[in-house]
Chains A and B, each alone.
Chain A
């Protein structure tokens, strides 16, 4: 399950969220009226500000737009529908869309259902070296037709946990700029990955500073723990206000036939939190709590494996980031883990770090050790 768990293995409602919900519940001046089609204004502006940074040149130059969406998925879908209708001509369903191998499995369906006919993959995970296949990625970008759309994970790549370094991002941006490739960022883990909002948004902000027009689909499911309230935001960065305004007016049409206007509850919680310095600080703290726990589990797992002398190298466990880790276990080893040790991971060897606790670390480490030594 792709949700955070405490060290007791339980779901965690962020304390700041509980607090804000009580505030909302006791505020009798609030009602349930429709939000505007594009969403709650205070949510939209602040959500985009979180992604782009307080000092973003794009915000200063008034060339950003925001569409409140049903989670990150909803933001991706609205962006995809818009691109299919208006990018690279009118209704050009032939524009290639590139998705990393591997990626979140729903990415493909989002773009297919939005009408794109040519979904391709780009190299990403190097299984042999258990890291980023940068050369393969850059080669794919060099060979991609001009104007192709690339889905980029802003941070905490799902499912590999492997992100480009800043230097590697610079190389990626350079190729994309030269070849007129469109960056569509998926940012589902800002803050949740490293504990720092700025660090986790570095790539997006770099691309903005390089003058790209881009989309960024944001999810507040993980970093606010608001999974079932479906809080997301599509941030649009354009060349100027006029272009952005026209883009938003067309996105409005798309929203109107998809869900008319977005749900109110989650957006209110996020907006209230982001606009209050005190609540913002509390939220930041809660986010850091989650990120730190995951980081701790990573370092503890790695050190146990290294102490056990488990064959292979295990630095990728701590070099990877976010909720998921590609352990490097092969399908047979995974089967062993599931059948013999009752530890559930994906056939890809993907493990959810949130499932680790101080109580089960030893068991998991020993099990991985067994799987690697017994099964080849």
Chain B
């Protein structure tokens, strides 16, 4: 007999299921709107030019393969912190921060979760927006924390339930942990406006909450890296010492290279040193030290003026294509004669869009039109192209009229 007879089969990944079904479909018109990676207007993966250039630079140098320090590539972590905070942040003058390289967004989130479990003794509770990225819950749970929620998305309006959020957040027990999506909320695409962020910051400060920002789309959301980091920077300016995880999967297209970072804003440089030492103690028994390739590409891009300029243009290009697809989808729906209000499609931002479609409607889109998305009506705008947006609008109209 086996040691593993009692091991249950893990439940299938819902998003993977979408892709599997898409692959089996033989229709020439099929669309995969479950994909969580950017696609160009031909529906193809896009390797950024600045990335190719950085890779060429790396290939031409004769670099060794020696272990990185546990905290990662210093040039990368420094540049990553500056990207998030803005290079003029007071935080850099005082040195009251620590940034460690993490395994893209997930790995960075997990380091932070483990760190909070070990050192944030005030609370075991992490408050997530309703809904949040599906992987947030198991990450925090596996780290040993408990999950709670605050209202966020209003399905009636397909936009932010601001009063609900404020109501819930104002009642969160003091010194709990609250997770906020810095920009391009996943999965809804619904972000607070700047005025709303200001109120959120005030409430969070009043409740003395530990703020955990997840920023996976800086630059990718609006096309402007400073605009997308506005909330993060505002909170810090209000004296809120946040923790932050960053990903370069989408904004640099470095998905499989796993480039990311986790940052803690501290009281002072001395505290930052102590925090850093503990982060390293957490990282070492997970994977010893992080992979170099993605971090080095990102570092070269961020630290080489010409490449950085080129990157900013390219990331804006990706964001603009997404925004243009949103606009075209709405205008095509109008052309189809839809009487519904589709404004939320252009109000929402980032890769994902909560269409407001019901499960039965999603079912029909899959069965009758070979358009694949998750049951919650979420679509990845990255899967939409100028070539198929008309078909998508037509199909949505057919199932909603």
Contact = CB atoms under 8 A, between A and B. Distances in A.
Given A70-B287, A213-B2, A257-B142, A34 B7 contact: no
B341 interface: no
A266 B64 contact: no
B242 interface: no
A32 B3 contact: no
A259 B103 CA distance: 6
Nearest to B105: A260
A227 B65 contact: yes
Interface in B278-313: 281-282, 284-294
A229 interface: yes
Contacts of B294: 263, 265
A261 B256 CA distance: 7
A256 B110 CA distance: 10
Residue among A31, A106, A247 with max Cβ neighbours from chain B (10 Å) = A31
Contact of A113 (B37, B65, B286): B286
A255 B64 CA distance: 28
Nearest to A248: B10
Contact of B106 (A109, A257, A264): A257
Residue among A17, A114, A225, A246 with max Cβ neighbours from chain B (10 Å) = A246
Nearest to B137: A257
Interface in B242-268: 249, 253-258
A34 B64 CA distance: 25
B45 A258 contact: no
A231 B330 CA distance: 46
A34 to B, nearest CB: 5
Contact of A246 (B9, B106, B107, B258): B9
A79 interface: no
A256 B135 contact: yes
Interface string A68-110: 0111011001000000001110100000000000000010011
Nearest to B36: A34
A230 interface: yes
Contacts of A69: 287
A35 B256 contact: yes
Contacts of B47: 31-32
A: interface residue count bin:
35 or more
B60 to A, nearest CB: 9
A226 interface: yes
B66 interface: yes
A345 B251 CA distance: 45
B256 A264 contact: yes
B103 A260 contact: yes
Contacts of B103: 70, 258-260, 263
A119 to B, nearest CB: 12
Interface string A1-30: 001000000010100010001100100000
Interface string B103-144: 111110010000000000000000000000001001101110
Nearest to A111: B285
Interface string A150-164: 000000000000000
Interface in B56-94: 56, 59, 62, 64-68
Contacts of A245: 9
Contact of B2 (A22, A77, A110, A238): A238
B2 A33 contact: no
B66 A227 contact: yes
A70 B294 CA distance: 14
A246 B4 contact: yes
A228 B66 contact: yes
Nearest to B290: A230
Contact of B258 (A3, A87, A227, A262): A262
A3 to B, nearest CB: 6
A229 B291 contact: yes
Contacts of A250: 7-8, 10
Q: Which 4 residue pairs across A and B have the least CB separation, nearest first?
A: A70-B287, A249-B10, A264-B256, A109-B285
Given A33-B45, A245-B9, A264-B293, 20 more contacts: A25-B56, A32-B47, A32-B51, A32-B254, A32-B255, A34-B255, A74-B288, A87-B3, A226-B65, A229-B292, A243-B4, A244-B4, A249-B10, A256-B138, A257-B106, A258-B286, A259-B110, A260-B104, A261-B256, A266-B293
18 contacts: A3-B66, A31-B47, A73-B286, A73-B287, A74-B286, A74-B287, A113-B285, A227-B66, A230-B287, A230-B291, A238-B4, A240-B2, A244-B4, A252-B10, A259-B103, A259-B104, A259-B258, A263-B293
Interface of A: 3, 11, 13, 17, 21-22, 25, 31-35, 69-71, 73-74, 77, 86-88, 90, 106, 109-110, 112-114, 182, 213, 221, 225-230, 238-240, 243-247, 249-250, 252-254, 256-266
